[in-house]
Amino acid sequence: MGDMAVGANSGSPWSGRTVLITGAAGLLGGWIARDLLGSGASVLGLDNAWDGPRATIPPQGVERIDGDIRNTPLLRDLLSGRHVDTVIHLAAQTLVGPAIEDPVDTFSNNIEGSWSVLEACRSMSVRRIVVASSDKAYGDASGRPYREEMPLRPHHPYDTSKAVTDLLAQTYAYTYGLPVAITRCGNLYGGGDLNWSRIIPGTIRSVLQGDAPVIRSDGTFVRDYLYVRDAAAGVLALADAVGDRPEIAGTAFNFAAGVRLPVIDLVRRILTLMGSQFEPVVLGQPLKEIQDQRVSAARARRLLGWRPRATVESGLRETIDWYRSYLKPGA
């Protein structure tokens, strides 16, 4: 991510705005920061693991702030001292397995962290706020694809933490009039993700290292994979809209590519694109996850004019190229 040029665009609505991104060292935060800098915004990136093994390389120009989202006074100081116009709240413990092993840590990070961010925004005049929920917040809601009006019925710790985050954002919009809207994205992928336990980075790295990729499940789990740069565009379209259109506050928006892909097919596509002869190793472990998750992005299309630009092919190609360059011997 750091090796990609960022050119300023003074005609953009983001030009001159100061934006605080929580979780800026993560996958989505890194790409949003890059787009914002390219649009002429100033970016403050708050994260508690800038030097951690999974932190992305931030684009040049991000002001890195080491800190925890549960530190409300720190957030208040940042919002007031730096005249922050927009808050994009992404910071979260995002891995499903660790959430099952240590639910309290995940609840504390994701739920307490979210009310801390929202509470700090309530006390300051932030003009636009986006909070990241997830398609996982729907849990096992009946019917596919998920639509925003469906009830949130999570059963597992990560999913519950995102559903509560989602409801907290709605509460702050309806009770306190905060200009906050919510994203519910499908599974994100793209260069810069160093969470090797996720299927796409894990598969690409295995192949580049000369190992067969491993699928923990039986390979039949269906997901909707969204290229991270399309997700970043969606978050920014929503953030821009919520400042000017009060009717959007408190509203959740699904973002997805609309592709129904079993994990085994995804892995095979990556192998084909990489020209690899490996057969995936399918462990068939029972996972506490929903079998089939897909969301409809019709609302984002209708109200925001958002469209995914990448196909699975083009998104995976760009992603593979990023890891080839990142993992190149000597890089």
Ligand X SMILES: NC(=O)c1ccc[n+]([C@@H]2O[C@H](COP(=O)([O-])OP(=O)(O)OC[C@H]3O[C@@H](n4cnc5c(N)ncnc54)[C@H](O)[C@@H]3O)[C@@H](O)[C@H]2O)c1
So which residues are the catalytic ones?
158
Q: Minimum distance from CB of 162 to ligand X (Å)?
A: 6
Give the binding range for ligand X (CB under 6 A) out of 20-28, 76-84, 119-127, 311-319.
20-28
Cβ–Cβ under 8 Å, residues 190 and 31: yes
Asked if residue 154 binds ligand X (CB under 6 A), the reply is no
Nearer to ligand X, 87 or 276 (CB): 87
Burial tier of 161 (Cβ tally within 10 Å: 0-12, 13-18, 19+): buried
- What is the smallest separation between the CB atom of 32 and ligand X, expressed in angstroms? 9
Q: Which of 21, 37, 69, 88 binds ligand X (CB under 6 A)?
A: 69
Tell me which of 79, 92, 200, 233 binds ligand X, using CB under 6 A: 92
Total interface residues for ligand X by CB under 6 A: 27
CA gap 170, 178 in Å, rounded: 9
185 binds ligand X (CB under 6 A): yes
For ligand X, which residue of 23, 154, 157, 315 counts as binding (CB under 6 A)?
A: 23
Which position among 94, 160, 206, 276 is part of the footprint of ligand X (CB under 6 A)? 94
> Least CB distance from residue 100 to ligand X, whole Å?
15
Q: Which of 90, 99, 93 is nearest to 155 (CA)?
A: 99
Residues facing residue 253 across a β-bridge: 183
C-beta separation of 10 from 34 below 8 A: no
Tokens of 224: 């909707």
Please give the C-alpha separations between residue 156 and each of 65, 168, 287, 313, 319, in angstroms, as whole numbers: 31, 18, 11, 31, 29
> Per CB under 6 A, which of residues 114..143 are in contact with ligand X?
132, 134
Quote the CA–CA distance of 97 and 286 in Å, as a whole number. Answer: 12
Min. distance of Cβ 78 from ligand X in angstroms? Answer: 12
Stretch that binds ligand X, among 25-33, 169-177, 245-253, 312-320 (CB under 6 A): 25-33
Q: Residue 210, by phi and psi: left (phi above 0), alpha (psi -120 to 50) or beta?
A: left
Asked whether position 236 contacts ligand X by CB under 6 A, the answer is no
Cis peptide bond prior to 58, omega within 30° of 0: no
Q: Is 315 in the site for ligand X (CB under 6 A)?
A: no
Which range, of 19-27, 140-148, 272-280, 313-321, touches ligand X by CB under 6 A? 19-27
> Which of 59, 113, 157, 191 contacts ligand X by CB under 6 A?
113
| Residues from 26 through 65 that contact ligand X (CB under 6 A) | 26-29, 47-49, 55
Piece of 84-92, 283-291, 292-300, 311-319 that binds ligand X (CB under 6 A): 84-92
Contact (Cβ atoms closer than 8 angstroms) between residue 40 and residue 12 = yes
Q: Please say whether the beta carbons of 120 and 161 come within 8 A.
A: no
Question: Which residue has its beta carbon closest to ligand X?
Answer: 26
Binding positions for ligand X, 195-214, rule CB under 6 A: 195
| Distance of alpha carbon 194 from alpha carbon 202, whole angstroms | 9
Tell me which residue of 264, 195, 238 sits closest to 32, measured CA to CA.
Answer: 238
CB of 135 to ligand X, least distance (A): 6
- Does residue 68 interact with ligand X by CB under 6 A? yes
> Is the CB of residue 253 less than 8 Å from the CB of residue 235?
no
Binding site for ligand X (CB under 6 A): 23, 25-29, 47-49, 55, 68-70, 90-94, 109, 113, 132, 134, 162, 185, 187-188, 195
